[in-house]
Amino acid sequence: MKILHTSDWHLGKRLEDFSRIEEQQAVLQEIGEIADREKVNAILVSGDLFDTFNPSTEAIDLFYKTLKRLSNNGRRPVIAIAGNHDSPDRIEAPDPLARECGIIFAGYPNSVVPLFELESGLKVLHSEEGFLELKLPGIDAPLRLLLTPYANEFRLKTYLGQENSEEELRTVLQEKWQELAEKYCDENGINMLITHLFVVKKGDELPEEPADEKPILHVGGAQVIYTENVPKQIQYTAIGHLHRMHQVDSLPCPVYYSGSPLSYSFAEANQKKYVLLIDAEPGKQALISEIELIKGKRLLRKRAEGIDEALLWLTENPDCLVELTMVTDTYLTAQERKKLSATHQGIVTIIPEVTNAVGFASGSKKNIDLTKNMEELFTDYFRHKNKGQEPNEEIMKLFTEILAVEDEK
């Protein structure tokens, strides 16, 4: 049985003023081509399907078209769970129609997938809260899935029936998983866990959550779950939330974040992106293949010493999105910014780094001389806030215009 693991699509997400929808269309098309080429039997999408609870119409349209394409007319089931960016109710709303296409949604940890069977041969054999067993077309061994979509601690406690607030949530979750595993997950089938929680190897340093990501470790978020909490019957654990593909642990089974299909912040600059192909047999260790994705723009950071170096580098790196740090002895003029923008259409942000910072030290105090006029006071303030850098002519002209407007009022 071949399973494809992907997650954190964040459909509808923007990077500042830049829409990523065309890149998302391209990379999801690429994932579909990989699924066809590798003759994948099922696809797991482990959360953060959308970027917001109320996604745009174009994001919703892309989502359903992609899932229908991936499901191959019900011959290849797609199992998608909610992440912390998703509305569980929105994810589950189309479930009756989606099931007819072989698409299965789980929005809550206690969601129950109804029993159904398609002409393709796809059939739900068993289902209860947090568990699903499927018969796949052309495959003898069943696919068993422990399903734990994202939920805050309150929802998880409700699902787990936890009454002792001091008891570690991860321990109770482990007991629930173990109960389901012992009931259903013998060596006659393929046994997997799919979740959108913060999973780490006990004792390892906690990885950073993605920039601009809604954290799930803080107050109101679920506790850290350890790989040792995964039942020994499980052959592969598919996690969502972290955007960098990496293996968390190899015991008791391969435990992986598949990562996002695109880089969504400059903290992910130069990251390679992947989907994971799991080749599994009953009673044997799963084999994992990392398949690199090549669609979508690269996110690059560049620190340029002056305008000429910046223009040359931008010319040499045309097809990307850029965070540009400009090291200069004065602030950029409007003409220089215009020249940069004309050279490269993918500049997301320009960060000035002024080198001749003299004058007030950071945090120093100075008495305000109220005998000075407003322009002089503004110049003093600008120096103080910008490590001694003088405002250029355009900044002073703008300030003078603002004063003039105020005088007219």
CA 80/CA 31 separation, integer angstroms:
15
Q: What percentage of the chain carries pLDDT values higher than 90?
A: 70
Of residues 91, 27, 26, the one with CA closest to residue 55:
91
Write down the pLDDT at residue 210: 64
Q: Mean pLDDT in the chain?
A: 89
Beta-strand pair 236-239/190-195: parallel
For domain 2-293, the CATH class is alpha beta
Q: What percentage of the chain carries pLDDT values higher than 70?
A: 90
Please write the tens of the pLDDT for every residue from 222-265: 678 999 999 999 999 999 999 999 999 999 999 999 999 999 99
Which residues, at least 6 apart from 15, have a Cβ–Cβ distance to it below 8 Å?
264, 265, 299, 321, 348
Helix (H) or strand (E) holding 184: helix 169-184
Q: Which residue has the higher pLDDT, 97 or 62?
A: 62
Please write the tens of the pLDDT for every residue from 26-36: 999 999 999 99
Q: Identify the band that residue 72 occupies on the pLDDT scale cut at 50, 70 and 90.
A: very high
Q: What are the Cα distances from residue 134, in Å, to 126, 137, 140?
A: 7, 10, 11
- 360 by Cβ neighbours in 10 Å (0-12 / 13-18 / 19+) ranks as middle
Write down the pLDDT at residue 163: 62
Write down the pLDDT at residue 365: 47
Sign of the C-alpha dihedral computed for residues 90, 94, 96 and 102 taken in this order:
negative
In the predicted structure, residue 372 carries a pLDDT above the cut 80:
no
For residue 186, how many other CB atoms are within 10 A of its CB? 13
* Annotated domain spans of the chain: 2-293, 298-408
Please write the tens of the pLDDT for every residue from 159-180: 887 665 545 788 889 999 999 9
Interhelix angle for 57-71 vs 21-37, to 10°? 10
E strands, 155-266, in order: 190-195, 199-200, 225-226, 236-239, 246-249, 255-257
Which residues, at least 6 apart from 202, have a Cβ–Cβ distance to it below 8 Å?
226, 227, 228
Beta-strand pair 143-148/131-135: antiparallel
